[in-house]
Amino acid sequence: MSARLVLDGLEVRHKTDDGGHGRRLLSGVSLAVEPGEFVALVGSSGSGKTLTAMSCLRLLPPQLEITAGSIRLGDQDLARAREPELNAVRGGRLGMLFQQPKRMFNPNRTIGNHLKEPLRLHAGLRGSKARAKALELLAEVGFADPGNGLRSFPHQLSGGMAQRAMTALALAGQPDMLLADEPTSALDKMLERQVLQLLDRERRERGLGILYITHNLASVAAYADRVLVMNAGSIVEDGPAGELLTRPATEYARDLLAAAQLAPASRRRPSPGEGDVLVLDKVGKRFGRRRGSTVLEDVSLTLRRGEILGVLGQSGSGKSTLAKAIVGLEEASTGIISRRFDGGAARPTAVQLVFQEPHGAFDPRMTLRASLQAPLPPRRDLPPAQRDERIAAAFKEVELDAALLDKRPGQCSGGQLQRATIARALLLEPKVLICDEATSALDALTQRTILNLLLRLQREHDLSLIVISHDMDVVRYMCDRVAVLLEGRVVEVAETRDFFAAPRHPHSRALVDASIPCRADGLWSMLDARNPAVRGNG
């Protein structure tokens, strides 16, 4: 019989230098997840969702401490358990799906070696039986070639592929309870549905309890039994999913729901200017020689001045590799990439990339000020006073407090870091900004703020944007045209309105169909009633 997870009055505080306790980060958090129950925990960035999950595993940073309350898994209080007891629980009875898997994997070990550990410790499998089970798990979470997945190192996987591997790792220990922290934020809608269906099957067939942390209310509407709303370290609302999503009791919950309405029809799209600023002609990329793989093949695209081009595709389709090739972080194996500004060739810094994982885009040892100074011209060409002035102006552009400049990445929220990433890109006065899943890890409120910020910057700086995303609503809201990648090839390019009204390629139709929420009487029926345009053709 699976065990239930119960948090009662959980409190987490900062430690002070004198051994006391400072600011309270979690206050009186009480919740319960029954065996076989799917409970969604939602809230904006910094509300305490991830901290709640990390408290359950007792994996808090050294400067934080549980100061009150209990965390019970069955009859065991994890808040007071010793380290050997916790090690027996972590990855076994209590599994964890982390939000940023590449930061959690050991970069020196293959995915196969990662999977062997929980299979040996918690499932008692070794040798060929462990390998067979690992291959089965990778196939279940969507690896087209599980054997290659076992041999791969984390850095060789895309963000979405890494999240699939993390899902397999969490299920390998056959947990009673699963803590899932934004497990599908890096995945396309087709794979998101596949992973959610897998988790739903696990909880139905063997009573797996799931505490699912998310900012995407639409994704869990069809699966969640209950929804908990968290704000400023406290649970502010708790109720059955259908009731809470259609009749939220608090203003904060209503704001979270309203943030999902990007209202694409309400945004007037300026006409792109004359001329192409970026031309890709039959671009290809192959990794390795003997047993290498083709990631991009004959990709031909154009980006017009002032245009926002969306690039859609499943995880592993080559989207991020394409972005890196355009900015020069990867060298194209074949084809030509032409940058054209003011009638001539562009300087290298004219194209800048906003990365998918803002925490991974900064050196954790450096302050944000030092990270922003790094790409600027040397001091002999740009005096310190002017450097500081440019950095302060860039921070003001993205609506960040200058006090954050002296903080390190670990002291900032995901939304703050994503803005800082945009500010660093603006310092080099780009003509083209490539946003690689720039809002996928952000909550709905922060996501909408960042998207509107990008639109304002695009207008004011006469930027051209490439928006790489698996989120159909983001592409519908932001983009003038859409290009679809499938296995490294462009299979369709169309105006946004035409694409969502009648996608031509079968894969395009599958992507659009997968983005339609499953529970018609839940979240989206309420959103439709408040704003019918939200699910129009943009």
Domains of the chain with CATH codes: 5-223 (3.40.50.300), 272-346+432-441+463-538 (3.40.50.300)
**pLDDT, position 262:** 54
Pairing type for strands 5-15 and 21-33 reads antiparallel
DSSP 494: E
- For residue 376, count other CB atoms closer than 10 A to its CB: 16
Q: For the residues of 458-482, what is the DSSP string, one character each? A: HHHHT-EEEEE-S-HHHHHHH-SEE
**pLDDT per position in the chain (538 positions), as tens?**
568 999 999 999 998 877 778 889 999 999 999 999 999 999 887 788 989 999 999 999 888 999 999 999 999 999 999 999 998 888 889 988 887 777 788 889 999 999 998 898 888 889 999 999 999 999 988 888 899 999 999 888 876 788 889 888 988 888 989 999 888 776 777 777 778 888 888 888 889 999 999 877 767 778 899 999 999 999 999 999 888 888 889 998 888 877 665 544 445 556 666 788 999 999 999 987 655 688 899 999 999 999 999 999 887 789 989 999 999 889 999 999 998 765 555 566 789 998 877 777 889 899 999 999 988 888 777 888 888 899 999 998 888 888 899 999 888 877 788 889 989 988 888 999 999 988 876 777 777 888 888 998 898 888 999 999 888 888 988 999 999 999 999 999 999 999 999 999 999 998 888 776 543 334 444 334 333 333 333 3
Asked if 202 and 208 count as a contact pair (C-beta separation under 8 A), the reply is: yes
Q: What token pair was written down for 2?
A: 């699976």
Phi, psi of 535 (to 5 degrees): -115, 25
Q: What is the DSSP letter of 296?
A: E
Non-local CB neighbours of 156 within 8 Å, separated by 6+ positions? none
Distance between CA 373 and CA 364 in Å, rounded?
15
pLDDT value of residue 532: 35
Q: Give dist(CA 533, CA 44) in Å, integer.
A: 24
Contact 280, 302 (CB under 8 A): yes
pLDDT of residue 486: 92
Q: Which residue, among 349, 323, 280, has the nearest Cα to 438 in the 3D structure?
A: 323
Phi/psi at 503 (nearest 5 deg)? -60, 140
- pLDDT given at position 530: 33
Residue 109 exposed, middle or buried by CB count within 10 Å (0-12, 13-18, 19+):
middle
Total count of residues recorded for the chain: 538
Give the Cβ contact number of residue 517 at 10 Å. Answer: 17
pLDDT value at residue 524:
42
Q: Between helices 251-259 and 523-530, what is the axis angle to 10°? A: 80
379 Cβ contact list (under 8 Å, min separation 6): 387
Distance CA 42, CA 441 (A): 13
| d(C-alpha 19, C-alpha 219), whole Å | 43
pLDDT at 468: 93
What torsion do the CA atoms of 271, 273, 274, 275 make, to the nearest 10 degrees?
A: -120
- Residue 334, both tokens: 């074949």
d(CA 420, CA 400): 8
Paired with 80 in beta bridges are none
Burial of 418-430, coded b for 16+ CB within 10 Å and e otherwise, reads: bbbbbbbbbbbeb
pLDDT value at residue 302: 95
pLDDT of residue 123: 81
Question: Cβ distance 426 to 461 under 8 Å?
Answer: yes
User: Quick one: which of 141, 184, 175 has its CA closest to 5?
Assistant: 175
Closest CA to 142 of 91, 198, 102: 198
What DSSP element (H or E) covers 285?
A: strand 276-287
Return the pLDDT at 340: 78
Nearest to 480 by CA among 353, 322, 313, 310: 310
The answer to whether the CB of 310 falls within 8 A of the CB of 472 is: no
